[in-house]
Structure 1
Amino acid sequence: MSKLKSTPHIEVEINLDEMDLSRAESKATYEEIKEYVLKNYGMNVTNLYIAQVKRKYGIIERINYNLGEGKTRVPQVTAEKEEAIEDALRHFQMIS
């Protein structure tokens, strides 16, 4: 009979303004970075270029097992696009 008066849930109030930005929230997707660069710089960047810049800053998501045989030439990000991607990473608070 005591179960009849119990509440089925507990209400909790959390003020998110006081919480710091978690590491997961500060990560931007490749698509978000591409959109930011296109909107602010008018340039299209590839996932490869974004990965090269992220690697430069030590942001390694996971190990790449699809390395190939090493016979083909891998295009390198240009200085202009590298600067734009770095700005996007700063915007999304992934680097300082």
Structure 2
Amino acid sequence: MSALIYALVQVIHTVINLYIWMIIIAAVLSFVQPNPANPTVRSLIFGLYRLTEPAFAWVRRKMPFVVVGGIDLSPIVILLALQFLDVFLLRLVFG
């Protein structure tokens, strides 16, 4: 296997894992409600919102049943899809 393909798959794996952590942090912050008066907290929340909300909105639009009793389960759907994609890609290339 060429080094280029190996490096490309490793970069994709790292990006998927970083996005998984961003989704987890965004989901936890939605429950915690940190103080938005702090500029650092505000920029962190705004940055995470801009990176994760498009994916959440897409899942909510395509699968309206993921909002159950006012609880949004779209982060779980995205996490499962990213985990599937990551394992599938790794097995496909290194399998």
For Structure 1 versus Structure 2, the TM-score category normalised by the shorter chain is under 0.3
| TM-score under structure 1 length normalisation | 0.22
| TM-score under structure 2 length normalisation | 0.22
Higher helix share: 2
Which protein is bigger by CA-based radius of gyration?
1
